Structure 1
């Protein structure tokens, strides 16, 4: 079987060596006096097993990803820094086919080293925390992976068992809540001094929803900010000079208990000096994300005045916080700070150009795992009579979503055939996972007719979710669709070229429900906001909702096949939560798709156009998709689409006549 070489090219070698050879001295290094020291703390986050610059779904190299590339930036900082540390912010264990290959085929025996940990061990991390995806393969698997690391993990809000103590300090924690690392600093005059660096970690409390199958009865979680407020004083009491937070939690200035994205509020905890964030797959500081939020300085890189960084995803950036420390008696304090997120690539003239080359140690050490993963993803499992693509998944019924629903419906009907639910009609809810967005203009499913390999199935369903079924009423089906329809902006009838897609609405929450037919009236305001809050209680975008050719009965009962994320309340869909679950299946949605294809031999995923837009005379809207969409525009049913020029960042613009 052919393999793809990741040997470093002359061009990438030159760009990589340039990054290390041409070093600009940071102002703190130049300014540091005899009683001052410059400490550089680097971050990686949301690596998702993307250790190499290779897209296993597309089976081709990709310059936008790879810890082996981020490692070159790390090496450059270390070469010129007097004092440097490296931390990881979690979500390293799951997210691409190499992770699935290890979890589902190779396995992890006691003493095995996971490939992502093997790479991280080479880089010499000082500490890491856990992200939500560390739990996707179960606690036992995670434990074996963590055991192979030569650096510590901290997490202060993951509690063993099912009960929380009266206060966070008395919780029986799964990992150490924090570490105090004793380091040696060289000051501006070259003298060496000891420093104690406290490092505390946090995971989103929502893991109890997203991975309840693996976690319920074994662990529970506590609010991030509550936990920080309890532990940070103790870290200070134990002598930490500075305290940094590894917060696998994004940036949100809203308030509430058990916040998923709590890093803004973590920064407000007294005693924390710097916050390393992640989870959202965004970049901070920068000119694009988190603009206009009170207390968030996207130019200086501060949250409530504290330095913070979020380093993208898949190794796309290295986060860097520079601290100017001043010795105050026998302790250190932060007197100034800067923050930045350094990219491994840039986009020029619609193309991704690598800014650095690989750390060849990582490429060489993971050669066997890379080749094994290639063999794993290239294995055929069946055929498709029609192409599978997601270029129009947000604006029309789509083959990449259709095949997921076909497989889920087939699977759930079989499991329920002898149950009390056997006579209820089975619907299926599925959303597009690869639909451009932050992933770029090439981030779409595109599988030609013919053989389907495992890599294609992973491409259709990115995450190792498990199948679940919920029992709901016709009225609740409508509300589910009303929530999904929030992805569309409200448009004005009779007006041309209005933007259709709300960029703040995650594409993975745009569920299409198969088994019913319906239309979406985008002239009406959305009923729900992207987080599930009611915006316009009287609005009704979903019209002509039909089952079996007749208007759906609001009181009728239905089974809906979905995944553990949605059934557990993920996305905050109205009334969709664990109370509606009637089946927690043992299989992942991906495995169900593979088994469906194997059984069918040849599948026909052609979209059946079960949903469309309400016609609005004289009205056109615009949306952006990948440039390869032009090859499939003639196959889209029920929607009139035409090319409308170039979009931004390599995307193509299209017009829909409503």
Structure 2
């Protein structure tokens, strides 16, 4: 029977109530409170996918953000240690890149020998016991990464990153880092006596870094399959006396079946003999939890186990602290696990109005350690990193090809072509799907992108891309491209030929689902009814709003295969677009769409966001339609390509009305 039979797990609120002040009674974990003389409670805490988010601050939006920041997670660390009989702290990778502070240090300030990177400064304050590498550690090159690691106050391990060709036996690989470390920790048992336990930590990175960072790694490094490396090294750790073996797996959870060089291999890693617990990450999700990994055989989303072993994934950007609590029992001279609990504890919650409420404050020692770099980063994001030769605005994004959408699409195409240039999809044509995010509606008459021509700063990218999505690519047919666009065309009401000032926009259709696909040309026939409903269900089989769809100047071949660059939301089935789901995904990028736009601007120097008018409405003689947008749109109405637009006066709630002449 479980030691915890009948026990009600602690919640965040009960914890905060129990540690409300330094004088308050600490609520111990049951393992700590009830351990016998030969038993000890060991709590292992995980941070993962910090991505340089030390401060609770969104540098793109240039404002505080209560959902992120290692300085906030650090406050949880103090409280969580207070609950535990004994504790250790690990990091599961992706700490080095992912926000403008990381780019500022890498591209602007640089790393001299002896410098300590700001994220390492913050981590050193907290006393980590071990860490591993994530895929983003390689984004700035090996030399930069090793300069950063040199400042670390804790060992970093990785068992599947080699300096050259793979040996026939993984144990013969020439590795960049130690494959594992065995930490001898003095722990206090239920009687108060102390004795050592040997905790082994072994680390893994996704093998796909050889594709994602080929320019930095080709000819310099190689990667081995995660599960193969574990099977080779875990027995060695046991032979060297590790009482328990903890996998630090910067690899997600995928139940599709074990395959060679699997990116998200943590489920099958947990099945390796000798591994006692798995810390996972990389996917920016939460485990255990109610939804992210539901239905995966071998993953218990309530108990928090993979293949029956304790496992946790602690969100991203410091949003959660991953916890694995172990009840250890002494068996002769060694320790074994006799019970466990797992938890991903957040730093914030949403109230009944869905408003974000911070549960903890900053840890002053962490913010103080990185204060200078934070202020330097603010100056960095507020100054120009490139130029735009034309204004970037979204006032007409729903009625004509639009510069704010165009630049995102250009950046996605540029990125995906580069990422796939050496792989099996290198010869497929690349299209790009992008949608306007700031397009008025419920956001109000000021809720539009509006960046003037001239200098463009990193923070302006937040105006172009609101969400922290990541880039993905799908492989689909020409017919599926057409249906993707048919679904997008649900943005519009049906307009009968000859109608005067008909209402154009479907107010129930969100603008972020109005995808424009670049790389093809097409028209939208508003006289037709919508082919699909809001759930992607075919409701009008004979309706075809998308007409004259062409690729390379010719009618699109329904059977031809296309790679389409998009984001993880759409590629994963977000918006319920017909036949667009995870089974079509061929590439999952390690980068956010925002980061890709920033890189594109830096690469280009001066961007040309002028829309190429690859789509328009099919002419309907004698027909007009009315739509609303921001009043600032009036200065741009005369320069819209592919559409005739007239000022139709003022609308309600500060909006301006315009007439589309069809």
TM-score by length of 2: 0.70
Equivalent residue for 2:349, pick from 343, 346, 350: 346
Equivalent residue for 1:332, pick from 335, 341, 356: 335
Q: 2:365 maps to what in 1? A: 361
Q: 1:249 maps to what in 2? A: 251
RMSD of the TM alignment (CA)? 5.0
Equivalent residue for 1:307, pick from 299, 310, 314: 310
| Deviation (angstroms), 1:130 | 0.6
Q: 1:61 maps to what in 2? A: 64
Q: Name the CA shift for 1:554/1:486 in 2 (closer, same or farther; >3 Å).
A: closer
Partner-residue secondary structure (3-state), 1:98 = helix
| Deviation (angstroms), 1:261 | 0.8
Q: Name the CA shift for 1:517/1:391 in 2 (closer, same or farther; >3 Å).
A: closer
CA contact (8 A) 2:243 2:334 kept: yes
Q: 1:610 maps to what in 2? A: 615
CA contact (8 A) 2:476 2:584 kept: no
| Deviation (angstroms), 1:58 | 0.3
CA contact (8 A) 1:91 1:131 kept: yes
Q: How does 1:416-431 map to 2 (within 5 A)?
A: 429-430=431-432
Query: Given the alignment of the two structures, is residue 590 of structure 1 paired with residue 598 of structure 2, yes or no?
Result: yes
Q: 2:10 maps to what in 1? A: none
Q: How does 1:113-128 map to 2 (within 5 A)?
A: 113-128=116-131
CA–CA distance in structure 2, aligned partners of residues 593 and 16 of structure 1:
49
Q: Name the CA shift for 1:218/1:431 in 2 (closer, same or farther; >3 Å).
A: farther
Q: 2:150 maps to what in 1? A: 147
Q: 2:168 maps to what in 1? A: 166
| Deviation (angstroms), 1:108 | 1.1
Query: How big is each residue's C-alpha offset from its partner over 1:26-46, in whole Å with a ceiling of 9 and x where there is no partner?
Result: 111122101000000000000
| Deviation (angstroms), 1:227 | 1.2
Q: 1:218 maps to what in 2? A: 220
Q: 2:44 maps to what in 1? A: 41
Q: 2:236 maps to what in 1? A: 234
Q: 2:114 maps to what in 1? A: 111
Q: Name the CA shift for 1:231/1:631 in 2 (closer, same or farther; >3 Å).
A: farther
Q: How does 1:134-213 map to 2 (within 5 A)?
A: 134-161=137-164, 163-213=165-215
Q: Which structure has the bigger radius of gyration?
A: 2
Partner-residue secondary structure (3-state), 1:38 = strand
Q: Name the CA shift for 1:488/1:144 in 2 (closer, same or farther; >3 Å).
A: farther
Partner-residue secondary structure (3-state), 1:260 = coil
CA–CA distance in structure 2, aligned partners of residues 390 and 27 of structure 1:
58
Q: 2:450 maps to what in 1? A: 448
Q: 1:28 maps to what in 2? A: 31
CA–CA distance in structure 2, aligned partners of residues 274 and 489 of structure 1:
48
Q: How does 1:517-556 map to 2 (within 5 A)?
A: 517=522, 544-547=548-551, 550-552=554-556
Q: Name the CA shift for 1:454/1:300 in 2 (closer, same or farther; >3 Å).
A: same
Q: 1:258 maps to what in 2? A: 261
Q: Name the CA shift for 1:172/1:58 in 2 (closer, same or farther; >3 Å).
A: same
CA–CA distance in structure 2, aligned partners of residues 434 and 119 of structure 1:
37
Q: Name the CA shift for 1:559/1:340 in 2 (closer, same or farther; >3 Å).
A: closer
Q: Which sits farther off after the overlay, 403-412 or 36-45?
A: 403-412
CA–CA distance in structure 2, aligned partners of residues 90 and 411 of structure 1:
24
| Deviation (angstroms), 1:611 | 8.3
CA–CA distance in structure 2, aligned partners of residues 87 and 229 of structure 1:
22
> What is the count of residue pairs matched by the alignment?
543
Partner-residue secondary structure (3-state), 1:179 = strand
CA–CA distance in structure 2, aligned partners of residues 391 and 360 of structure 1:
46
Q: 1:277 maps to what in 2? A: 280
CA contact (8 A) 2:305 2:311 kept: yes
CA–CA distance in structure 1, aligned partners of residues 307 and 415 of structure 2:
49
Query: Given the alignment of the two structures, is residue 372 of structure 1 paired with residue 376 of structure 2, yes or no?
Result: yes
Equivalent residue for 2:294, pick from 263, 288, 291: 291
CA contact (8 A) 1:457 1:594 kept: no
CA–CA distance in structure 2, aligned partners of residues 301 and 183 of structure 1:
25
Partner-residue secondary structure (3-state), 1:217 = coil
Q: Name the CA shift for 1:213/1:558 in 2 (closer, same or farther; >3 Å).
A: same
Q: Name the CA shift for 1:554/1:343 in 2 (closer, same or farther; >3 Å).
A: closer
Q: 1:529 maps to what in 2? A: none
Q: Name the CA shift for 1:235/1:561 in 2 (closer, same or farther; >3 Å).
A: closer
Q: Name the CA shift for 1:72/1:389 in 2 (closer, same or farther; >3 Å).
A: farther
Partner-residue secondary structure (3-state), 1:18 = coil
| Deviation (angstroms), 1:252 | 1.2
Q: Name the CA shift for 1:392/1:26 in 2 (closer, same or farther; >3 Å).
A: farther
Q: Name the CA shift for 1:272/1:369 in 2 (closer, same or farther; >3 Å).
A: same
Q: Name the CA shift for 1:170/1:353 in 2 (closer, same or farther; >3 Å).
A: same
- Residue segments in structure 2 that go unaligned for 5+ positions in a row: 1-15, 418-427, 495-505, 525-529, 537-543, 568-581, 589-594, 619-628, 644-662
CA contact (8 A) 1:251 1:261 kept: yes
Q: Name the CA shift for 1:287/1:551 in 2 (closer, same or farther; >3 Å).
A: same
TM-score by length of 1: 0.70
Q: 2:325 maps to what in 1? A: 322
Q: Name the CA shift for 1:557/1:258 in 2 (closer, same or farther; >3 Å).
A: closer
CA–CA distance in structure 2, aligned partners of residues 73 and 575 of structure 1:
38
CA–CA distance in structure 2, aligned partners of residues 133 and 209 of structure 1:
12
CA–CA distance in structure 2, aligned partners of residues 182 and 137 of structure 1:
34
